[in-house]
Structure 1
Amino acid sequence: MTGNLIYGLIKKKYKPSNSQLIVSLNHKNVILRKKPLVIVGSHRKESDTLTFTEEVMKGIPHKLINLKDRKISAYCYSGKYSEDDDFEKIASLMAVHNPIVFATPVYWYTMSGLMKDYFDRITDLLTINKTGGRRLRGKTMFVISVGSDKKCPDGFEMPFRNTATYLGMRFGGIAYQSTKRKNIKDFEIIRRRLIRHTYI
């Protein structure tokens, strides 16, 4: 993606100088600080959710984590988990990346089981790892989702939006893709917002 295209998407709101734009595109530290972390929660390896996520993120530097390939234990009130549990590793990545993008298929009008297990574990960032929870404040959360309904089900975004609010994060919006028709509007809106967060 060229600097001219990115500038064309953001200039109306931000109007950065040429020097600022060059730093944003080429200075490694700046790009890494704004590099999105994408957490995918589909049970299928080559899923529609992953395909749509790759479309949304195309040309945007990012790190992708597939929960299917990681071990996320169910939430435990004792806070004791197996040594091979991966939640803390992913949580540490959340602390150094911004924005955070959650990608999930719609299962019975809500997030997938894999993603729900992960969200349940966020409780650990409020109890046994409060520092990790505090480091999420001020970050932005986006959601990418795929389902069979023509529109995103009512109430689907509520757990994400409310979680973001509770953690002191901003909710950047949701890009929903129906398997029956392509939602160009959501796609373009979220891409533009992600580009702003990555390069500004």
Structure 2
Amino acid sequence: MKKTIIIQGSSKSLGNTHKVVNYLNKDNQFDVVDLKTKNIGSFDYEFANADDDFLPLMEEIISKYDTIVFATPVYWYSMSGILKDFFDRVSDLLHYKKELGRQLRGKNLAMISNSTENDLKNGFTMPFIESANYLGDTHSWLSNNNIANDAKVKIDAFRKIIS
């Protein structure tokens, strides 16, 4: 089953991250989930959000995909809040749904970020690296509302890694 899913975590469904995801997925070989379209609450030690979209989404991801790519804009030197909530909810799989969480072992994770400049700060990738066995990452940027040509070269090389 060598399938890849891109999880788009942006506050704007059709913004710059969407442009980057579409370019990365220009051959339509990957499935895409837009977290903005999901009802995913923040982590709660009492698992008060157990009935939202997180667990069904994770069950689908774990059963169908070997590689998970997180796509995020850079907001205040970090991943987007919507993606951070998703990351925090993985704690549900460590405490509340351990059998599901164990199935994440062996999955590949990757990250693609974007901003308006080629200025990714040191430390940005740490949450991704420390969260799992890390496959790869790349950063892209837009110039005049378009993906910069140098960024396209990086995205093309990244596509080869995750395919």
Q: TM-score, normalised by structure 2?
A: 0.89
Alignment-derived partner of residue 152 in structure 1: 120
Alpha-carbon RMSD? 1.5
DSSP 3-state at the match of 2:135: strand
DSSP 3-state at the match of 2:17: helix
Correspondence 1:74-89 to 2 at 5 A: 74-81=42-49, 83=51, 85-89=52-56
Name the structure with the higher helix share.
1
Alignment-derived partner of residue 94 in structure 1: 61
User: Which deviations, in whole Å up to 9, do the C-alpha atoms of 1:114-134 show, x marking residues without a partner?
Assistant: 001111101001000111111
Output the CA distance in 2 between the equivalents of 1:90 and 1:174.
23
> How far has the Cα of 1:136 moved from its partner?
0.8
User: Which deviations, in whole Å up to 9, do the C-alpha atoms of 1:130-188 show, x marking residues without a partner?
Assistant: 11111111111011111123132211110001001xxxxx3111121112444244313
Name the amino acid aligned to 2:11: H
- Which stretches in structure 2 are left out of the alignment for 5+ residues? none
Correspondence 1:51-130 to 2 at 5 A: 51-81=19-49, 83=51, 85-96=52-63, 97-130=65-98
Name the structure with the higher strand share.
2
> Are the counterparts in 1 of residues 118 and 139 from structure 2 also a CA contact under 8 Å?
no
Report how many aligned residue pairs link the two structures.
Answer: 157
Name the amino acid aligned to 2:137: I
Alignment-derived partner of residue 47 in structure 1: 15
DSSP 3-state at the match of 2:48: coil
DSSP 3-state at the match of 1:179: strand
- Which stretches in structure 1 are left out of the alignment for 5+ residues? 1-32, 165-169, 196-200
DSSP 3-state at the match of 1:81: coil
Output the CA distance in 1 between the equivalents of 2:154 and 2:79.
18
Name the amino acid aligned to 1:89: P
Output the CA distance in 2 between the equivalents of 1:82 and 1:132.
14
Output the CA distance in 2 between the equivalents of 1:60 and 1:192.
14
Structure 1 residues 82 and 93, CA gap change in structure 2 (3 angstroms): closer
Output the CA distance in 1 between the equivalents of 2:50 and 2:102.
24
* Rg comparison, structure with higher value: 1
Q: TM-score, normalised by structure 1?
A: 0.74
Identity %: 33
